[in-house]
């Protein structure tokens, strides 16, 4: 069965960086894009960007351009998201989610369990 | 960016009654001439990630009960829960995946009356 398992909760100080991992299993990792979506406490869902694990191509929401990097390790079927220059407004649960179609646009059919990132001095 | 606007923000429905959530896109998200749209619906329960319910505006994901139905056309879409069950208490989000960035509605909280 398809699973996305994320790394554990993080506490960071303002100005620091955080790296969240997302380990995929149960399908061919390189065939489906991985997206990152975050959710601030009590708020809605915000898409951050996507990565193609086959080509390593990426696309980021304008809001995060220059501050986020999405990478992958195909030897371990793991996707990574690094967010730099953290502020308290980055406190949120970060999710990885798979695009449902191998090629082209799709909904998000499988989600990781979420990683809480808390930014506090 | 395409703006997705849901209504209402919250609703309370009696068990066994119908719940209807609306979602409006700020521009067309039409996929093809067969009335398919780049629209998905998700259900999120407290402390859990979102779960895909509906894609292409009206196709139920595998294992989703048939009391959940998606419909709509143009820029107006609807998620209907035909007979609300206790386990349906959650926040529901619509999402367009026609354009980048994909965008979500603000969410609709469904509760039991």
Structure tokens at B113: 């009356």
Side-chain-side CA neighbours of A22 within 13 Å: the count stands at 30
Structure tokens at B41: 């619906």
Angle at A38 (CA atoms; ends A36, A41), nearest 5 degrees: 165
What is the model's pLDDT at position B36? 86
What is the model's pLDDT at position A81? 98
Kindly determine whether residue A114 and residue B49, on different chains, have CB atoms separated by under 8 Å. yes
- CA–CA separation, B60 vs B71, rounded Å? 11
- Residue A64 phi, psi (nearest 5): -110, 0
- Mean of per-residue pLDDT scores for chain B: 96
What is the model's pLDDT at position A42? 96
Strand A18-25 vs strand A3-6: parallel, antiparallel, or unpaired?
antiparallel
What is the model's pLDDT at position A105? 87
* Candidate from B61, B98, B103 with C-beta closest to A105: B98
Query: CA B94: distance to chain centroid?
Result: 4
Is the preceding peptide bond at B101 cis, omega within 30 degrees of 0? yes
Residues of chain B in contact with residue A115, where contact means CB-CB under 8 angstroms, are none
- CA–CA separation, B97 vs A79, rounded Å? 21
Question: Which regions in chain B score pLDDT beneath 70?
Answer: none
Scanning B33-52 for CB atoms below 8 A from A yields 38, 40, 42, 49-52
Judge whether B78 is closer than 8 Å to chain A, CB to CB: no
What is the model's pLDDT at position A58? 97
- For chain A, 121 residues long, give each residue's pLDDT as a single digit of tens: 999 999 999 999 999 999 999 999 999 999 999 999 999 999 999 999 999 999 999 999 999 999 999 999 999 999 999 999 999 999 999 999 999 987 778 999 999 999 999 999 9
Q: Beta-carbon neighbour count of residue A115 at 10 Å?
A: 21
Give the Å distances, CA to CA, from B39 to A110, B21, B82, B97. 16, 14, 20, 6
Residues of chain B in contact with residue A100, where contact means CB-CB under 8 angstroms, are 52, 55
Kindly determine whether residue B104 and residue A105, on different chains, have CB atoms separated by under 8 Å. no
Question: For residue B49, what are the contacts with CB-CB under 8 A and spacing of at least 6?
Answer: A95, A97, A111, A112, A113, A114
Q: Is A60 helix (H, G, I), strand (E, B) or coil?
A: strand
Q: Residue A14 in contact with residue A121, Cβ under 8 Å?
A: yes
What is the model's pLDDT at position B17? 98
Give the number of A-B residue pairs with CB atoms closer than 8 Å: 50
Q: Beta-carbon neighbour count of residue B101 at 10 Å?
A: 21
- Residue A100 phi, psi (nearest 5): -70, -20
């Amino acid at each position: 069965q398809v699973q996305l398992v994320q790394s554990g909760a993080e506490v960071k100080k303002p100005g620091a960086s955080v790296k969240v991992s997302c380990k995929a299993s149960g399908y061919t990792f390189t065939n489906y894009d991985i997206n990152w979506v975050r959710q601030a406490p009590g708020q809605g869902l915000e898409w951050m960007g996507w990565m193609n694990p086959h080509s390593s191509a990426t696309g980021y929401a304008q809001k995060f351009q220059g501050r986020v990097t999405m990478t992958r390790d195909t030897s371990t079927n793991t996707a990574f998201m690094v967010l730099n220059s953290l502020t308290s407004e980055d406190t949120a649960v970060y999710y990885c989610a798979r695009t449902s179609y191998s090629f082209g646009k799709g909904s998000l059919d499988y989600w990781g369990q979420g990683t809480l990132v808390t930014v506090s001095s | 960016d395409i703006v997705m606007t849901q209504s209402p923000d919250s609703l309370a429905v009696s068990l066994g009654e119908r719940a209807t959530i609306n979602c409006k896109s700020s521009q067309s998200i039409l996929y093809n001439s067969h009335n398919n749209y780049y629209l998905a619906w998700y259900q999120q329960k407290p402390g859990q990630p979102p779960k895909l319910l509906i894609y292409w505006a009206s196709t139920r994901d595998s294992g989703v009960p048939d009391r959940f139905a998606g419909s709509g056309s143009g820029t107006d879409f609807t998620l209907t829960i035909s007979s609300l069950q206790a386990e349906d208490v959650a926040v529901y989000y619509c999402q367009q995946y026609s354009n980048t960035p994909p965008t979500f509605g603000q969410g609709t909280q469904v509760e039991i009356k």
